[in-house]
Amino acid sequence: MNPDTDLPRQFPPDFVWGVATSSFQIEGAAREDGKGESIWDRFCSLPGVIADASNGELACDHYHRLEGDLDLIASLGVNAYRFSVSWPRVQPLGHGAWNEPGLAFYERLVDGLLKRGIQPYLTLNHWDLPQALQDQGGWAARDTVHRFVDYARGVQRRLGSRVAAITTHNEPWVIAVLGHEKGNFAPGIQNRQTAFQVAHHLLLSHGLALQALRADGCTAKLGIVLNLGHHEPATASAEDAALARLDDARGRRWYTDPLFLGRYPQEVLDELGADAPVVQAGDMAHIATPMDYLGVNYYSRNVSSAGAPFDVTKSGLPLTEMGWEIYPRGLTELLLTLHRDYTLPPVYITENGGAFPDPVVNGQVHDADRTDYLRTHIAATGAALAQGVPVAGYMVWSLMDNFEWASGYVKRFGIVHVDYATLQRTPKDSALWYRDLLARCRALRSGAAGRG
Ligand code: FCB
**Which H helix or E strand runs over 425?**
strand 425-427
Mean pLDDT across 144-151:
99
Q: Write the pLDDT tens digit of every residue in 261-311.
A: 999 999 999 999 999 999 999 999 999 999 999 999 999 999 999 999 999
- What would the pLDDT profile of 156-165 be if each residue is shown by its tens digit? 999 999 999 9
pLDDT at 449 over 90: no
pLDDT at residue 356, as a whole number:
98
Question: What does the pLDDT read at residue 452?
Answer: 41
Q: Is the pLDDT of residue 355 over 60?
A: yes
293 lines ligand 1 (CB under 6 A): no
Evaluate: CB of 297 within 6 angstroms of ligand 1: yes
**From CA 183, how far away is CA 175, in angstroms rounded?**
10
Residue 448 has pLDDT above 90, yes or no: no
In sequence order, the β-bridge partners of residue 418 are: 425
Residues 17-43: pLDDT tens digits? 999 999 999 999 999 999 999 999 999
Residue 448: its H or E element: helix 429-451
CB of 23 closer than 6 angstroms to any ligand 1 atom: no
Q: How far is the CA of 22 from the centre of ligand 1 (A)?
A: 9
Q: Where are the beta strands (DSSP E) in 266-378?
A: 293-297, 301-304, 347-351
User: Which residues are CB-neighbours of 2 under 8 A, at least 6 positions away?
Assistant: none
Bond into 172 cis (ω within 30):
no
Residue 3: pLDDT band by 50, 70, 90 thresholds? Answer: low
pLDDT of 104 > 70? The answer is yes
Query: What phi and psi values does residue 115 have, to the nearest 5 degrees?
Result: -60, -30
Its pTM stands at 0.98
Residues labelled catalytic: 171, 351
Rounded CA-CA distance 179/169 in Å is: 14
What average pLDDT does this structure show over 356-365? 93
Alpha-helix residue ranges (DSSP H) falling in 216-253? 238-248
Nearest atom of ligand 1 to the alpha carbon of 170: 8
| Ligand 1 mutation pick, 296, 395, 405, 413, max ligand atoms within 8 A of CB | 405
Taking alpha carbons only, the member of 389, 399, 415, 396 closest to residue 12 is 389
User: Please, what is the average pLDDT of the chain?
Assistant: 97
pLDDT tens figures, 178-211: 999 999 999 999 999 999 999 999 999 999 999 9
* Cβ–ligand 1 contact at 174 (below 6 Å): yes
Residue nearest to atom 5 of ligand 1 (CA): 397
